[in-house]
């Protein structure tokens, strides 16, 4: 007898049931097809594979998180295998990135990415990388070639779109003709230009100052860039000076009027000096190192967490590179964070030492206002011919687009391809001078850092790390700790790099030689027993004459870390768990200033109950904190109420510690013109009125979003992170975005908390900058070092390791850097 599953149902319901069954069946078939396509690109992690170019066998041992540790007998085999493994997990990301750095995204995605390509072609990232190749050592070029062979071995073994990754199958729907090219060593070198761009110092600050000056007089713009608060926030280096043309750790400064200069720096801060540092949205980092005198093991501990814009997958790829037996043929035993597409380890540990990075943030980019006419530009009263070249950009689905790139002696004219860069006054164009557009040897530095044996060799390797300039911290198993500031930092004939300058006068040129490496600040084994870097000022200008920058972070994170270290030391010796707890600190550094001011304002209405939340609040921004939710809402509305009427949209405050200083100063000046809303001509607002309105607006916003019961508000309900795929994650096509994006995750912390989960006050509370990874290295036993990545090892959507570390990361936990192997793959010639 045949079973009729819908018998007995009325015909409309029978019809609906059959339709749902058909749709379900189609969905299951489609899901099955997608599953087959997705899994087809997953990497082989066990067994054996033959790889062209190897001279001996290589083992790839992966832990349960998919993190590979690679073991080889020669350096060439080691880096060839790294290229193969990177491609296994992240080739789409690598391919996408090299199109970014070459200004060729439009070959993949069509006209939608033309603006990006035009800007990068104008700057000429890949052209500079081509010049760098010839400057690199023979050893480095050999390793880059080996890495490229590994990538291309994987590419040859995976010729079909479905073999490579789901992204290629999706791209095929839009651009069926696309085929990835073989990898080259130039692709690896060019990626470092993207890293330099993300950490490009204060170019936006120059633009913001100029934009603000279009609406405000200079003295009011200066109020928005107060001086670094040296009196309350310690710089990185507290000892030493330049003596006999080099930085000496024990030297005392001999600058004329040093004490007066130091006093003046504090005085300038008090009177709102222009020597300041702007908030840099999305870019920052924490790192610190503690000597063995303060640890339970008697050996150093080192922590690092670089702050970058979130990416899916994470910008970092964890890996270990191990020579089975160290010799002249193979000098590497290093574990850490790598960039897919680049051989070697960027941040991590060897068998003898560990190191970390934060952005030093020196002023390495200047905007020159130029007078351009009829193919020439004015310089010192004479007209010089512009350099010009044509760049052809291929466009998927359309005709090629040709642009003409013109340059002065200062660099390419960028105003035509960067909307925020506009000439003003007598100028008709804007040129960009930037150290990353000068060829250098940073790639050599990566391999030298990875094989250094001690502090001296580490410093020698750092000398080659030219762009981007970083704060480097160090700790070794012998107990030494140290700090070094490397990088190519220009010396100017005139000016401090804070404003765009006229290029035609010839007064603001860069000298031929940058600050000599031997004169850059360094310190080892300081008296404090620890070193803290968090994008704060490197050294008091009263102690150090060369100009590094006028634009630092303002030291709220670094001083909080310092205070927490001092508190831990007073209680006893630190362990790795204490280092991790400090990384997770969520305290808002401005709460102690703003909350008392809010409490002193006469307030009525429903916001009174919300304000009570702040009465005994300790400033912690935990997930379930109602006070943190309300405080940050007040801060958002205060910034908008204070400055949106005065500043053009592009220069309005996103938040961060520069604005802590600005608002802190304004709180002491209740009748300052910034308090007045220029859009209400009939009224003159003052401090208390603006604070009152910010509290009322914040209450109303949160009541609408989270409900009227203020005790039920949670910071984690507002402060969320959506992990968005860099290529297809913002396509605007919901089903495609669902394939590649993950989250949201609720996060504690906030911008310029130690746990620096940034957000933009102009747009909302959603997270736009994160600790992109975290690491705690234990120099007593490097096998006990721990780390975490933002997402996971795999770049393949739906792979078990696509985002398996994300929840652990969000909870503030770490995993072992050397975990037991779950899979072993042997690569043979």
- Render pLDDT for 695-717 as a digit per residue (tens, 0 to 9): 999 999 999 999 999 999 999 99
Mean pLDDT, rounded, for 743-761: 97
What H or E segment, with its residue span, contains residue 27? helix 11-40
Residue 254 has pLDDT above 80, yes or no: no
Rounded to whole angstroms, the Cα distance separating 641 from 639 reads 5
- Four-residue CA torsion sign, 388, 394, 400, 401: negative
Q: What is the mean pLDDT of residues 807-817?
A: 98
Comparing CA positions, the residue from 407, 371, 373, 376 lying closest to residue 389 is 407
**Cα separation, 340 vs 349, whole angstroms:** 18
Q: Average pLDDT for residues 738-767, to the nearest whole number?
A: 97
pLDDT of residue 580: 98
Q: What does the block give as tokens for 377?
A: 């530009």
What is the helix (H) or strand (E) element at residue 466, kind and residue range? none
802 DSSP 8-state letter: S
pLDDT at 200 over 90: no
Whether the pLDDT of residue 766 is over 90: the answer is yes
Token digits for 140?
């480095």
Per-residue confidence (pLDDT) for residue 26, from 0 to 100: 55
The least confident of 136-140, 498-502, 526-530, 812-816 is: 498-502
Q: Give the rounded distance of the alpha carbon of 683 from its chain centre.
A: 43
Query: Could you report the per-residue pLDDT of 132-168, keeping only the tens digit for each?
Result: 999 999 999 999 999 999 999 999 999 998 899 999 9
d(CA 166, CA 564): 45
Helix, strand, coil percent content, the chain, rounded in steps of 5: 35, 20, 45
Mean pLDDT within 490-498: 94
Domain ranges, ordered by start, for the chain: 591-620+622-718
Q: DSSP class of residue 371?
A: -
The per-residue pLDDT for range 87-103, each reduced to its tens digit, is: 999 999 999 999 999 99
Q: Look at residue 9 in the predicted model and tell me its pLDDT.
A: 45
At 32 the pLDDT is 54
Q: Which tokens belong to 642?
A: 């204070």
Contact 419, 435 (CB under 8 A): no
pLDDT of residue 18: 55
Identify the DSSP state of 489.
Answer: -
Q: Are 578 and 571 in contact (CB under 8 A)?
A: no
How many Cβ atoms sit within 10 Å of the Cβ of residue 112? 12
* Residue 273 predicted with pLDDT over 70: no
Contact yes or no for 287/304 (Cβ under 8 A): yes
For position 16, what pLDDT does the model report?
Answer: 54
The band of 17, judged by pLDDT with boundaries at 50, 70 and 90, is: low
What local confidence, expressed as pLDDT, does residue 256 receive?
37
Whether 667 contacts 651, CB under 8 Å: no
**Token duo for residue 307:** 């702050």
Element (H, E) at 272: none
What band does 199 get if pLDDT is binned at 50, 70 and 90?
confident
Cα–Cα distances (Å) from 809 to 501, 533, 788, in that order, read: 44, 22, 6
Helix crossing, 591-599 with 626-643: angle to 10°?
A: 80
d(C-alpha 273, C-alpha 226), whole Å:
5
> Does residue 348 have a pLDDT over 50?
yes
CATH number, span 591-620+622-718: 1.10.1400.10
What are the DSSP E strand ranges found in 9-114? 47-50, 58-62, 68-72
pLDDT of residue 219: 93
Q: Which of 815, 791, 808 is nearest to 90 (CA)?
A: 791
Q: For 631-658, how does the pLDDT look when each residue is reduced to its tens digit (9 = 90+)?
A: 999 999 999 999 999 999 989 999 999 9
CB 327 within 8 A of CB 563: no
Mean pLDDT lowest for which of 422-426, 556-560, 733-737?
A: 422-426
d(CA 370, CA 504): 6
DSSP character at residue 510: B
pLDDT number for residue 272? 22
The mean per-residue pLDDT over the stretch 457-486 comes to: 96
Range 616-651 burial, b when 16+ CB lie within 10 A, else e: ebebbbebebbbbbbbbbbbbbbbbbbbbbbbeeeb
The answer to whether the beta carbons of residues 661 and 556 sit under 8 Å apart is no
Tokens at residue 316, please?
A: 């970092």
What local confidence, expressed as pLDDT, does residue 647 receive?
95
In this prediction, residue 203 has a pLDDT band, given cuts at 50, 70 and 90, of confident
**pLDDT at position 276:** 27
Residue 3: pLDDT above 70? Answer: no
Percent of the residues in the chain that have a pLDDT greater than 70, as a whole number: 92
pLDDT at 213: 87
d(CA 238, CA 407): 42
Q: Locate tokens 């006093």: which residue?
A: 263
Q: Share the mean pLDDT of the chain.
A: 91
Per-residue pLDDT of 394-421, as tens digits, reads 999 999 999 999 999 999 999 988 776 7
Start-to-end C-alpha separation, the chain: 63
- Residue pair 475/353 in contact (Cβ under 8 Å)? The answer is yes
pLDDT at position 422 = 77
- The pTM of the full predicted model, rounded to 2 decimals, is 0.92
Length of the chain, in residues = 829
Selection from 293, 812, 347 nearest residue 585 by Cα:
812
| pLDDT, mean of residues 93-114 | 96
Quote the percentage of the chain above a pLDDT of 90.
83
Q: Is the pLDDT of residue 735 over 80?
A: yes
Contact present, 702 and 696 (Cβ < 8 Å): no
Instruction: Give the model's pLDDT for residue 280.
Output: 42
pLDDT, residue 15, reads: 56
pLDDT of residue 439: 94
- The DSSP call for residue 136 is S
> Which pLDDT belongs to residue 205?
81
């Amino acid at each position: 007898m045949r079973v009729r599953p819908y018998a007995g149902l009325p015909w409309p319901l029978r019809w609906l049931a059959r339709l749902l069954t058909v749709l379900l069946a189609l969905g299951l078939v489609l899901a099955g097809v997608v599953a087959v396509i997705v899994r087809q690109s997953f990497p082989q992690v066990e067994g054996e594979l033959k790889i062209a170019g190897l001279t001996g066998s290589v083992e790839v041992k992966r832990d349960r998180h998919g993190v590979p540790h690679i073991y080889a007998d020669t350096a060439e085999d080691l880096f060839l295998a790294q290229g193969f493994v990177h491609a296994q997990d992240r080739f789409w990301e690598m391919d996408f990135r090299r199109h970014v750095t070459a200004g060729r995204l439009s070959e993949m995605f069509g006209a939608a990415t033309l603006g990006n390509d035009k800007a990068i072609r104008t700057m000429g990232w890949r052209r500079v990388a081509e010049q760098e190749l010839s400057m690199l050592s023979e050893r480095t070029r050999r390793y880059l070639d080996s890495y490229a062979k590994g990538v291309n071995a994987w590419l040859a073994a995976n010729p079909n779109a479905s073999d490579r990754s789901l992204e290629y199958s999706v791209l095929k729907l839009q651009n069926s003709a696309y085929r990835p090219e073989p990898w080259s060593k130039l692709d690896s070198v060019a990626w470092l230009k993207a890293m330099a761009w993300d950490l490009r110092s204060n170019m936006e600050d120059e633009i913001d100052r100029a934009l603000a000056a279009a609406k405000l007089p200079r003295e009011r713009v200066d109020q928005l860039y107060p001086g670094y608060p040296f009196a309350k926030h310690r710089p990185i280096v507290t000892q030493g000076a330049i003596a006999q043309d080099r930085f000496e750790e024990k030297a005392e400064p001999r600058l004329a009027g040093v004490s007066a200069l130091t006093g003046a720096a504090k005085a300038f801060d008090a009177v709102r000096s222009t020597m300041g540092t702007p908030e840099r949205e999305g870019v920052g980092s924490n790192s610190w190192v503690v000597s063995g005198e303060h640890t339970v093991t008697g050996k150093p501990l080192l922590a690092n967490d670089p702050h970058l814009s979130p990416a899916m997958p994470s910008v970092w790829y964890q890996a270990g590179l191990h020579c089975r037996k160290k010799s002249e043929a193979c000098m590497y035993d290093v574990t850490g964070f790598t960039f897919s597409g680049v051989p070697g380890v960027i941040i991590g540990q060897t068998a003898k030492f560990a190191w970390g990075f934060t952005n030093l943030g020196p002023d390495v980019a200047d905007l020159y206002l130029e007078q351009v006419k009829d193919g020439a530009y004015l310089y010192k009263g004479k007209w010089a011919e512009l350099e010009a070249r044509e760049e052809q950009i291929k466009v998927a689905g359309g005709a090629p687009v040709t642009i003409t790139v013109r340059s002065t002696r200062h660099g390419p004219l960028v105003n035509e391809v960067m909307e925020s860069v506009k000439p003003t006054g007598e100028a008709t164009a804007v040129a960009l001078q930037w150290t990353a557009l000068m060829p250098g040897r940073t790639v050599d530095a990566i391999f030298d850092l990875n094989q250094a044996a001690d502090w001296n060799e580490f410093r020698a390797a750092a000398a080659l790390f030219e762009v981007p300039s970083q704060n480097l911290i160090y700790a070794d198993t012998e107990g030494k700790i140290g700090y070094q500031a490397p990088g190519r930092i220009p010396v100017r004939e005139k000016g401090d790099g804070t404003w765009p300058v006229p290029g035609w006068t010839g007064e603001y040129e860069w000298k031929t030689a940058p600050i000599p490496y031997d004169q850059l600040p360094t310190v080892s084994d300081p008296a404090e027993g620890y070193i803290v870097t968090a994008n704060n000022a490197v050294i008091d200008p009263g102690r150090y004459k060369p100009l590094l920058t006028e634009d630092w972070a303002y030291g709220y994170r670094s001083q909080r870390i310092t205070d927490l270290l001092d508190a831990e030391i007073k209680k006893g010796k630190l362990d790795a768990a204490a280092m991790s707890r400090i990384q997770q600190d969520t305290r808002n550094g401005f709460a102690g200033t703003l909350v008392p001011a809010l409490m002193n304002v006469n307030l009525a209405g429903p916001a009174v109950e919300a304000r009570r939340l702040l009465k005994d609040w300790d400033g912690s921004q935990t997930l379930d904190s109602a006070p943190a939710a309300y405080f940050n809402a007040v801060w958002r509305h205060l910034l908008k109420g204070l400055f949106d009427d005065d500043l053009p949209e592009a220069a309005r405050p996103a938040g961060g510690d520069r604005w802590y200083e600005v608002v802190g100063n304004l709180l002491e000046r209740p009748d300052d013109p910034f308090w007045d809303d220029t859009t209400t001509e009939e009224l003159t607002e003052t401090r208390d009125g603006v604070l009152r309105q910010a509290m009322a607006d914040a209450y109303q916003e949160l009541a609408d979003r989270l409900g009227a019961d203020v005790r039920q508000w949670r910071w984690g309900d507002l402060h969320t992170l959506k992990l968005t795929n860099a290529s297809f994650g913002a396509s605007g096509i919901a089903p495609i975005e669902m394939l590649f994006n993950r989250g949201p995750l609720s996060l504690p912390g906030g911008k310029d908390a130690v746990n620096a989960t940034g957000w933009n006050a102009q747009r909302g509370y959603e997270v736009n900058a994160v600790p992109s990874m975290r690491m705690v290295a234990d120099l007593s036993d490097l096998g006990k070092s721990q780390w975490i990545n933002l997402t996971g090892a795999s770049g393949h959507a739906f792979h078990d390791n696509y985002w398996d570390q994300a929840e652990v990361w969000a909870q503030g936990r770490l995993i072992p850097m050397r975990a037991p192997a779950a899979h072993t793959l042997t690569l043979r010639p």
